[in-house]
Amino acid sequence: MNQEAHHARGRAIVIGAGLGGLASAMRLGAKGWQVTVVDRLDRAGGRGSSITDQGHRFDLGPTIVTVPQTLRDLWAACGRDFHADVDLRPLDPFYEIRFQDGARFTMRPGVPAMRDEVARLSPSDVPGFDRFLDEARARYDFGFQDLGRRPMHKLLDLIKVLPKFAMMRADRSVHAHAARRVRHPALRFALSFHPLFIGGDPFRVTSMYALVSHLESSFGVHYAMGGVQAIADAMTRVIEGQGGQVRLQTEADEILVDKGRATGIRLKSGEEIAAEVTVSNADPGFTYGQLLRKHPKRRWTDKRMANARWSMGLFVWYFGTKGTRQMWPDAGHHTILVGPHYREHIRDLFRAGKITGDMSLYVHRPTVTDPSAAPPGDDTFYALSPVPHLGHNAADWSSFAETYKDRVATMLDGLIPGFRSRITAERVFTPETFQSRYLSPFGAGFSLEPRILQSAWFRPHNVSEEFQGLYLCGAGTHPGAGVPGVIGTAEILDQLIGPPAVRAVPPAVPPALPLAAE
């Protein structure tokens, strides 16, 4: 055994401190691996990180937790209690959906409350709603608890489940499935829009995603005080408590390969870190196209990744407002504003790849639940609008961002009138930001679109068939995007990677200096 191989024994390297990478590092550390996580950003969390400006904490990405048990299980695997480290609050209501015709739909905890809301809007749709929930539960049991919690890198595993997919009509879109159960347009939207939050077209992605309605009704929607950043920071503390390292502002340049096996990474600085196990939390397109650029690939070639269907991009306007905490009492923690031509807008967004005058917005106002997100008496918001990814060449965002922001402001004025005169701090993220900040191919907001032929076995696998010792986690791999999904990728890696045969010797820690005499 050469010196480098000996030095790598018992060591694991994780590229990217997103939630999937941090969760993978925690599980590896719990098994006895000596783990180092590297990330180019200045905060852990990846898309779930935050920026603070003038006292406003802008949570940059995910804002809710829908299956707390996945986090409890992760912490338990490390011998810890999640709720001792993170203050997770159940929300009521979960969110309110507002339509252009004045209709509103408020999602609340528990099936009885949801059924009451359906009855208020469309009494004749209650039986169909009940049936939809029953079918959502079956899809949860199969799609989330079964397929979503085990590896899917073997073709035989896919072949075995094809009859179940057919029985559940996985070929039908989630919107088409909802339309077969309820008639009111607002209910059809409320039961099918969720794939947008993981980068999917509700009119095209599989009806398996109806399982989200079961997640909401059974587990609720939760918010971590301090934002998802608080979860990422707590994950970092667990890793460091295991003896691992999280090195921020440290960028990986290349995955090193020797005789078909990943042997660690080279940083942009030139430093090499040897490892027996290499895990990439970078987007699979970036992992195979850039980090492994010097090595030929058999399956995940540059051409294949370029021709894949990528999720839409995102335009996100983060802003803080002065003295507004008691204003706009009708604007809750989560509000969805639906444009007048939703179906046409989604078609233009995903298929034509063009920007039109119509839009829908997700508006996040965390200060309703968490006052620490803003200075006393102030508010923090973000408004998110789906837009085409950069591969469509729909806009030059360096010049178009201000124009698009004005359009968003016009729509927001119906929810929080006069807000622009009270803005004190603001940031705008466009698909170009996602490309430069997160190294996301085409600036896609959620990696590969979760269509049926880009899911499970068809999605980049958690264990690389290209190079031994290389594993992938995060939104672009199985089971997919969303907080439960990326945390789930670490659970799958836990099944693929055993404990080290030889434990690495932890890096030497210099002795603490004696305290100066008072």
CATH of residue 242's domain is 3.50.50.60
pTM summary value = 0.93
Of 159, 189, 217, which one is at a domain's C-terminal end?
217
295 φ, ψ to 5°? Answer: -125, 135
Residue 134: inside a domain: yes
479 and 461 in a common domain? yes
Q: Are 24 and 38 within 8 A, CB to CB?
A: no
Angle at which helices 68-77 and 483-496 cross, to 10°: 30
Angle at which helices 19-30 and 228-241 cross, to 10°: 30
Residue 96: inside a domain: no
234-266: pLDDT as tens digits: 999 999 999 999 999 999 999 999 999 999 999
Cα 516 from Cα 518, distance rounded (Å): 6
Tokens for 140, please give them.
Answer: 């949860």
Q: How far is CA 245 from CA 100, 236, 300, 444, 509, in A?
A: 50, 8, 30, 29, 12
Intra-chain end-to-end CA distance of the chain, in Å: 53
Residue 317: inside a domain: yes
User: How many domains does one find in the chain?
Assistant: 3
466 and 432 in a common domain? no
Of 193, 217, 241, which one is at a domain's C-terminal end?
217
DSSP, collapsed to helix, strand or coil, labels residue 382 as strand
407 and 358 in a common domain? yes
Residue 410: inside a domain: yes
Tokens for 83, please give them.
Answer: 């709720």
286-322: pLDDT as tens digits: 999 999 999 999 999 999 998 999 999 999 999 999 9
| Structural domain harbouring 287 | 3-49+66-87+225-307+450-496
Residues recorded for the chain: 518
430 and 347 in a common domain? yes
Diameter of the chain by CA atoms?
Answer: 78
Give the residue among 380, 408, 282, 378 at the shortest CA–CA distance from 63. Answer: 380
Cα 23 from Cα 61, distance rounded (Å): 17
Residue 102: inside a domain: no
Give the residue among 52, 490, 51, 506 at the shortest CA–CA distance from 281. Answer: 490
280 and 349 in a common domain? no
427 and 387 in a common domain? yes
Residue 52 has pLDDT above 70, yes or no: yes
404 and 331 in a common domain? yes
Query: Mean pLDDT lowest for which of 144-148, 202-206, 227-231?
Result: 144-148
434 and 341 in a common domain? yes
Residue 517: inside a domain: no
Tokens for 112, please give them.
Answer: 């009885």
Q: Check residue 112 and give left, alpha or beta (phi > 0: left; psi -120 to 50: alpha).
A: alpha
209 confidence band (pLDDT: 50, 70, 90): confident
Tokens for 461, please give them.
Answer: 């696998």
Residue 83: inside a domain: yes
Of 192, 217, 242, which one is at a domain's C-terminal end?
217
381-399: pLDDT as tens digits: 999 999 999 999 989 999 9
170 confidence band (pLDDT: 50, 70, 90): confident
321 and 237 in a common domain? no
278 and 363 in a common domain? no
Side-by-side strand order, sheet with 313-321: 104-107, 95-98, 334-337, 361-364, 379-387, 313-321, 423-429
- CA 240 centroid distance within chain: 23
Residue 296: inside a domain: yes
Pairing of strands 95-98, 334-337: parallel
Report which listed range, 6-15, 18-27, 494-503, is most confident: 18-27
327-348 burial, b at 16+ Cβ within 10 Å, e below that, comes to ebeebbbbbbbbbebbeebbbb
179 and 126 in a common domain? yes
418 and 318 in a common domain? yes
